[in-house]
Structures are given as C-alpha cells and as structure tokens.
C-alpha cells in the first residue's frame, strides 16, 4: 500500500505525542499541525520523526485544513493527538476507503467509565441526531476519519473552528457520499493532557455552539 498521511491537529500535546507517534502503523506518515502550543509540542513532534506544520489561525478546522493542504497521499487520515485513540484503528478506516467508501469515520466506544464525560456524550448525541435527521446514519462526530484527499478538498468545508467535523459530515450527506462508520476504542488521554472540548462543560458548550452554527 502507498504511504498514508495522518494529520494530527495539535495544541499543547507534549505529553501525548511520543506515544501517539510511536504507535503509527508502518506506512503511515505523521503531519503534526501545531496551532500555537507553548509546551514544546512542535519540537517533540519533530524529534519523533513527524513533519511539523505551523498554523497561526486558531481553531480545530484551521489546523485540519492546513494539514490537508500539506498532505500528499491519495488517502489522508485525521486523528486527535491526545492519546485517546489508537493510531492502529486507522488501518480499517483506510481499508474501507480503499474498498469504495468515500469517507470512513470512527465511532467512539469508551474502554471504561469516566473516559467520555456525560456533557460531551450529550452534546455528541444531539449533533448525531441532527445528522441522522438529514439522512446520514452516524452516531458520532468522527474524531478519527479517512478520506481521499482530492475528494475532501473538492467538498469545500469552510468552517475553521470546532464546527469543521459537523460541516464535513453535512456536506458528505448532501453530496450523497457513501460513509462507513467503524468502532474505535476511546481511551483515557495521556497523563497531563486535557481535552479542549470535553474536558469541561464550558468547552463542550462552546464546541456544540460552533457545530450548531453550521446548521443555520
């Protein structure tokens, strides 16, 4: 199989990056998009063999899009850099795209209690319900995904904040893409890291607000 680029949006993930990068399967190449870290994340990523891209515009979508533009492989993956997801889970997602799916996304399955806080699960449920009402049968907002680079660029996702994942799925539904959803184990984050979204009620509310904005 050809090399697969893996885009890892990053904001202060120094504690998690060594483990995440070491766990990438053979043939998967890391592109760490630093979004203003102050904990030495870019240097750690580079020391562990990742290509580091700097993105000055703040926001998850800005980091994802910068990584997409920098990627060169036919199929590109996207993964959180906090250690909550095993990079090996990308292999089945890539396989689904190689077999004809236009988008393969991860459906989080918590490995224990407390991994996925109630407020984050509630926000995800609300958004997934809205997606199903629009004809896309998914149950998660895709923290891990695989897609052909050209297809995603042509889809024209515009949001550059937390609304990016939802807009991607909405546009995929409108384009009648074949979307495959596969289970991925959702684990505790690396020691010393905290989710910018689900780590607090405030963070979750902000993310849901950004995502709901793309529905207007």
For 36-84, how does the pLDDT look when each residue is reduced to its tens digit (9 = 90+)? 999 999 999 999 999 999 999 999 999 999 999 999 999 999 999 999 9
**Residues found in the chain:** 216
Q: What would the pLDDT profile of 73-127 be if each residue is shown by its tens digit?
A: 999 999 999 999 999 999 999 999 999 999 999 999 999 877 777 777 877 887 8
Q: Which domain holds residue 52?
A: 4-213
Q: Which two tokens stand for residue 10?
A: 């990053």
pTM: 0.89
DSSP letters spanning 136-168: ---SS--SEEEEEHHHHHHHT----STTHHHHH
- What is the domain count for the chain? 1
The rounded distance, in Å, linking the Cα atoms of 30 and 38 is 20
Q: Closest by alpha carbon to 105, among 119, 90, 87?
A: 90
Residue 120 sits in a domain whose CATH number is: 3.90.550.10
Rounded to 5 degrees, φ, ψ at 29 are -110, 125
Edge-to-edge strand ranges of the sheet holding 28-34: 51-54, 28-34, 4-10, 75-79, 144-148, 103-110, 179-186
């Amino acid at each position: 199989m050809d090399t697969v680029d893996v885009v890892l949006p990053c904001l202060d993930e120094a504690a998690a990056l060594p483990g995440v990068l070491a766990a990438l399967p053979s043939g998967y190449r890391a592109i760490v998009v630093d979004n203003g870290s102050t904990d030495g994340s870019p240097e750690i990523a580079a020391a562990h063999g990742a290509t580091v891209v700097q993105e000055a515009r703040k926001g998850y979508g800005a980091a994802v899009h910068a990584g997409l533009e920098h990627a060169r492989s036919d199929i590109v993956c996207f993964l959180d850099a906090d250690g909550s997801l095993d990079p090996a889970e990308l292999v089945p997602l890539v396989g689904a795209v190689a077999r004809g799916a236009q988008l393969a996304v991860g459906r989080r399955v918590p490995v224990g209690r407390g991994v996925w806080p109630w407020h984050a699960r509630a926000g995800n449920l609300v958004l997934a319900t809205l997606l199903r009402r629009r004809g896309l049968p998914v149950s998660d907002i895709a923290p891990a995904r695989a897609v052909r680079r050209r297809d995603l660029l042509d889809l024209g996702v515009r949001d550059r904040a937390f609304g990016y994942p939802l807009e991607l799925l909405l546009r995929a539904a409108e384009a009648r893409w074949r979307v495959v959803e596969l289970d991925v184990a959702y684990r505790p984050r690396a020691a010393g890291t905290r989710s910018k979204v689900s780590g607090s009620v405030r963070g979750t509310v902000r993310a849901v607000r950004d995502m709901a904005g793309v529905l207007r």
